[in-house]
Structure 1
């Protein structure tokens, strides 16, 4: 595996090199670069490496300028002292986001993630066309929920639902008009019933609609803080293990 390191702090770059080679003795550090300019020149002229470890704030600007000037086709692990760039990082080939000061375990986890992604795509085979067409024709999820309230039954359209949440062992529906209802289904059952493209399970308590998401902010310990267009009873946090899949889900609209 050919790896390049883009890092403007020489001591950090050397430490990163030692950790990588200690974890992957068969890897080769093909080069170390400190600036946007030198990185663009190398990636434009030479063969693309198998992996890049990249700092975000370089000597002559933010590393995201590199992606505007050259097509990077390999995975990138971002290593930075700042956590406000995680969303932008995952939009630019990011497979992990490691905060400085990083540890050997942080780099080991990043390399493991790269290997798992590589194995996944190597093992993928083309689907059966008939099976694919049947899946495309299949329903995309429930379109409404039956509600019993005030001794009456009524239906609530899924399009009107901002999020589902669990409170006191009951599953609740919160609509965009702030009307709330309880349903006799667990959040796991609801998650399996609705469209995975429309709703995302943020954590054990919340399943949210894409339409309800107002903004997402990086949070402590590589978590994400999700704000909705209407107020929620709890602060919505996505843990670091699920943050990548959540950002990917938001990107693939």
Structure 2
């Protein structure tokens, strides 16, 4: 069986590949595609190996994965992966094979693969109209209010309201509190995106999620980029990525 993984986080893609190999060592992951553009380019080629199944993250580095279906004819069965809370997954379950909540659980992967095998002769297309209509509806979402963090024998309770920003570095994730405390997290930024209230937090690039009230100043930079000064100050320069610039401006104006 040939599989393509559309996922912008290498660590998540590697973990998914390990789980697939555990389920069936004969499964061949052809490649990982991190963006809408690269997925559209690859699947638009006249010659590429046959694909039996696609695992697709919803949030990619250049937008929502549904943009792939809007640009090319895509008739392959899809198992979506997402960091959304489980109550949203049930609403999303339309005509795709399945949805898996990140971090992907092995037993849930097995169930999804067995479902795929059952439906293999009748590959299901995602009902994009239903998906997009649901995403545009106001949702009474339940977001994280605190994080419980274990360091050695101590457990730290951190209110989300006290967090200035999150960042990733060398495959690790950290939060910075408003008073400058740095604490490690077991979540990836992709997972955090579905747990934080988007009215207060925004993922400005692949490395940073920032709180609105942590942005001290914004500077115009070369090539239309924006540079952020955060409080507390970050030891890394923080830029708003080009793919998120328009959305970031809209977010600031709300």
Q: TM-score, normalised by structure 2?
A: 0.45
Structure number, greater radius of gyration: 1
